[in-house]
Structure 1
Amino acid sequence: MTVRIPLEQHALHVADLLAPVLSSPAVETVPIEDALGRVTADDVRSDVDLPLFRNSQMDGFAVRAADTAAAPIALEVSGDVPAGHAVPVVLTPGTAIRIMTGAPLPTGADAVVPVEDTELVLGRDDDLAGAVVEIRTSRAAGEYVRERGSDLARGEVIVPAGTALAARHLAALASAGVREVRVRARVRVGILTTGSELSGGETVEFGQVFDANGIALAALVTEAGAAVSFRGTSADDPAAFRAVLDDAVAVSDLVLTSGGISQGAFEVVREVLEPLGARVTTVAMQPGGPQATAVLGGVPIVCFPGNPVSTQVSFTVFVRAALRNAAGLQPLDPASALLATPVHSVAGRRQFLRGRVTTDGAVEQISGAGSHLVAGMARADVLIDIPADTTDLEVGADVTVWTL
């Protein structure tokens, strides 16, 4: 008789197994061009003031506010300052200087009149020589002027430690001249799928299936903020599996396998790892009952059953949170929802039914419970978590859901 252990017991075991390699992630320095989605290891401080210099907030005319007090008034245009102008300009009292957005404010100017509040009258040669600008309304000192350091002062934090870098963060870093940033190193995860029936090619022979688990696990690992360090497959041959496993362990902090751990024949993962001290068990859950763990060369190995849905559910329940935490990503904690459809569950096993959130925030079951129903899994956006001691729930029942 198969002894099934509670899910919580196996989850704690996996967490303890992963803790030594995931609790203190390494740090690396990357160019900001490669930092999207990475998590900052330290506070990133600015070496400069932002803005870098006093500049215009608008296209218009730089003036002394006092010279506009009698507006409407006409002022001689004494110069032109485009954005990126590198030569300091001095404003002569009683005149105005045409200025573009972001251009350095001339010395002596303390306000900018937006172009829409002015009318420019050009000189005889249709240029600024001899031009006059009519100022329609008076301006107070500081209007439409960006003061140096008004956004961020030198030494202040641009992005705090623990931030998952998005485009807006990278823009701020680039504006402050930051070219590289220290981030948490990604956990290196090796992925190994097993089974003589697997085909990785474009066609399959009779009795074969396409290998979906390698693709699924690689995507799940990447979504969880880790890096896929190895991807391989092995037929049901112990020597071949051990050779590929050694290759995966050599370049990984953690190895995930799928298949080969059930009670039947040709269970190559179990055959190789049990003599090395592997813990092979059956968890009271569906899908995903067969589970195993081992350690090889100091690298933890977490083994999932080979059915595609079982593999994905097992990763979500046992490994995802640990990887996201190591990466510094926000947790995807289980949440509560109301059932939009009645459900039936198997007694004695914690069921993870495929579900979808409805427009009103409830959740409906959209697929059968079979661990082979990959199309049903694709249509789901949550797992509906049904306790082991529950067999039937009606519409409106409160259930726990896991975001996919």
Structure 2
Amino acid sequence: MQSNEKQLTPLVHNGPSPRTIEKQPTTEENRNVSRHVRAVRDVLQPLLSTPRHERVPVMDALGRGLAETILAPMDLPPFDNSQMDGFAVRSQDLTDGHGALRVGAPGPAGAVPEPLVPGVAAPIMTGAMMPAGANAVIPIEWAVPHIFPPPGALATVTLPSTAAGSFVRRRGSDVAEGDCVLAFGTHLGPRQLGLLSALGVTEVTVHQKVTVLLVTTGDEVVEPGDRRAPGKIYDANNTLLEASMREAGLDVVRAGIIRDEPGVLSELLKQHASHVDLIVTTGGVSKGAYEVVRQTMLDHPVEFSHVEIQPGGPQGLGTFDGIPILAFPGNPVSCLISFEMFLRPLLGELFGTPKPRATYRTQLSHALTSPPRKHQVRRGVLLQNGTVRLEGGEGSHLLGALARSHVLVHIPAGVSELAEGEEVEVWVI
């Protein structure tokens, strides 16, 4: 049983002392954002080597990634139908301008109408099937009189001439049978589910949800609601990342706060490795004396590097007992930016969920400076005039500024300053 007292024990209990561990060489390099994204993709790619799919009812597929290609089993619309409330006609009956036609039997939506004979106009409602022989619809507003006669009444109606096809929704004009309507990997939102239902589809094959083990490290953090002793802070990382991950469609196993003891962390990861797909840790990845994640990973193929990004530079990436692991920095804003930059987009790319962040370019409301060698990600507020104002400073601890922000503002590497009115790329969060 572990003591509550901090012990910087090595991963192998009979191995070298913590001091010796700190002197052991670790894989360390600087890499740009694009290179790190490619490295993360390579680590996550094996999750697709074995199909992890399930068949679910259409409504249960909301927010999931499609794991099949859907070909239309039928035409949409499935038959020619009226775009308007009006009269179905043979356009050739009205070639000489306004003409008086006998009013035939009405065609309500959902019924199969009688064939239209020459010299007759059939009342028709929006969405109703076109009668055989009819090739156009004239809106009721254009008729004289512009009201429908009572059913069965002997009546005539005067109508303007019209072109064939007017106000007619042709069979298959939206989707033709056999068309690819949803490609493998499509993120399934309300619009896509609506299309599936219109095609009569009741079940689809989707990617199973990725299960992630979320681990926060640090002797200085305590759970919200617990007694906070001097020198301690309440943990925000677990809530910040779990909420972000759940919003992104992940199943999250929240391990809580793990002390800065490599043996404890190693044992926890081993306990969960068999039933999770991915491990994400926060903290313990920098070059300090008590970097628990670095120490724990000495015997595992995990690289630690400094990515040219601010915040979120220190990163760990590799596998633990064959499970992909992403080790994020410990400051709250840093770990969130790490998730948004290095994990969330790739989950969407590989598994169809979550859908990409909405991105666009907008003007700065004020000038800014940025470290020229780093891709800087700042928090921003959208103003009523459409410009963006940076919120808070560069610090990776500024949760108040993060909570007030609408967007992430991207200043790419190589840019050291931008003037008021210059454009930047923003991601809506």
Question: TM-score normalised to the size of structure 1?
Answer: 0.77
- The AA in structure 2 aligned to 1:292 is G
Q: CA deviation at 1:243?
A: 4.7
- Deviation, structure 1 residue 379: 4.2
Structure 1 residue ranges without an equivalent (≥5): none
Q: 1:175 aligns with which of 188, 194, 198?
A: 198
After TM superposition, the runs of 4+ consecutive aligned structure 1 residues lying more than 6 A away are: 1-4, 331-339, 357-363, 396-402
> In structure 1, what is the Cα distance between the partners aligned to 2:222 and 2:281?
16
Q: Deviations over 1:312-366 (max 9, x none)?
A: 2333444344333213555999999889424365x9x847362537768887654
Quickly say closer, same or farther: Cα 1:213–1:134, change in 2 above 3 A. Answer: same
Match of 2:85 in 1: 59
Contact between 2:67 and 2:205, CA under 8 Å: does it hold in 1?
A: yes
Judge conservation of contact 1:59–1:101 (CA < 8 Å) in 2.
Answer: yes
Report the counterpart of residue 303 of structure 1 in structure 2.
327
- Say which SS state the counterpart of residue 349 (structure 2) adopts: helix
Pick from 354, 359, 369: which aligns with 1:343? 369
Deviations 1:376-402 (A, max 9, x none): 333453355575x99x64747999867
The one-letter code matched in structure 2 to 1:105 is: M
Q: CA RMSD in A?
A: 4.3
Shift of 1:254: 1.6
Partners of 2:363 and 2:146 lie apart in 1 by: 67
Q: Structure 1 residues 94 and 333 mapped into 2: Cα distance closer, same or farther (>3 Å)? A: closer
Letter aligned with residue 343 of structure 1: T
Aligned residue for 2:140? Answer: 115
Q: Deviations over 1:272-320 (max 9, x none)?
A: 3334454455667654454334422310212122211221233344434
Report the CA distance shift for 1:400/1:122 in structure 2 as closer, same or farther (over 3 A): closer
Residues 51-90 of structure 1 aligned to structure 2 (within 5 Å) = 51-69=77-95, 72-85=98-111, 87-90=112-115
> Quick one: percent identity of the two aligned structures?
36
- Does 2:174 align with 1:151? yes
Q: Which residue of 1 aligns with 2:277?
A: 253
Give the stretch that moved more between structures: 128-137 or 284-293.
284-293
Provide the secondary structure at the position in 2 that maps to 1:257: strand
Residue range with higher mean Cα deviation, 306-315 or 363-372: 363-372
1:100 aligns to 2:100 (yes or no): no
Aligned pairs, number: 396
How far apart, CA to CA, are the structure 2 residues paired with 1:331 and 1:22?
A: 23
**Structure 1 contact 204–210 (Cα < 8 Å) conserved:** no
Alignment check: 8 A CA contact 2:242 2:252 kept: no
Distance (Å, rounded) in 1 between the aligned partners of 2:226 and 2:52 = 41
- Residue pair 1:261, 1:303 contacting (<8 A) in 2 also: yes
Match of 1:313 in 2: 337
Deviation at 1:100? 0.9
Q: Which moved more, 1:251-260 or 1:142-151?
A: 142-151
Q: CA deviation at 1:256?
A: 0.5
Matching residue of 1:372: 397
The 1-side partners of 2:89 and 2:271 are apart by: 70
**Which moves more between the two structures, 328-337 or 100-109?**
328-337
Q: Distance in 1 between matches of 2:263 and 2:165?
A: 77
Moved more, 126-135 or 63-72: 63-72
Q: After the TM superposition, which of the residue ranges 94-103 and 159-168 deviates more from structure 2?
A: 159-168
| 2:218 corresponding residue in structure 1 | 195
In structure 2, give the amino acid aligned to 1:191: L
**Separation in structure 2 between the aligned mates of residue 90 and residue 320 of structure 1, nearest angstrom:** 57
What is the alpha-carbon distance in structure 2 between the residues aligned to residue 78 and residue 334 of structure 1? Answer: 55
CA distance in 2, matches of 1:137, 1:192: 73
- Matched with 1:50 is 76
Cα distance in 2 for partners of 1:41, 1:220 equals 23
1:20 lines up with 2:46 in the alignment: yes
Structure 2 partner of 1:34: 60
- The code of the aligned residue for 1:372 comes to H
Letter in 2 for 1:60: G
What are the within-5 Å matches in structure 2 for residues 248-397 of structure 1?
248-262=272-286, 267-276=291-300, 278-280=302-304, 286-328=310-352, 340-343=366-369, 345=371, 350=374, 352=376, 354-356=378-380, 365-380=390-405, 381-385=407-411, 393=417, 395=419
Q: Structure 1's 315 and 70: CA in aligned 2 closer, same or farther, altered over 3 A?
A: closer
* Structure-to-structure mapping, 1:216-235, within 5 angstroms: 216-221=240-245, 225=248, 227-235=250-258
Provide Cα deviations, 1:170-225, integer angstroms capped at 9, x if missing partner. 333322222233344444332222234444444652344333212322344456x5
Provide the TM-score with structure 2 as the length reference.
Answer: 0.74
Equivalent residue letter for 1:272: T
Q: Which amino acid aligns with 1:17?
A: V
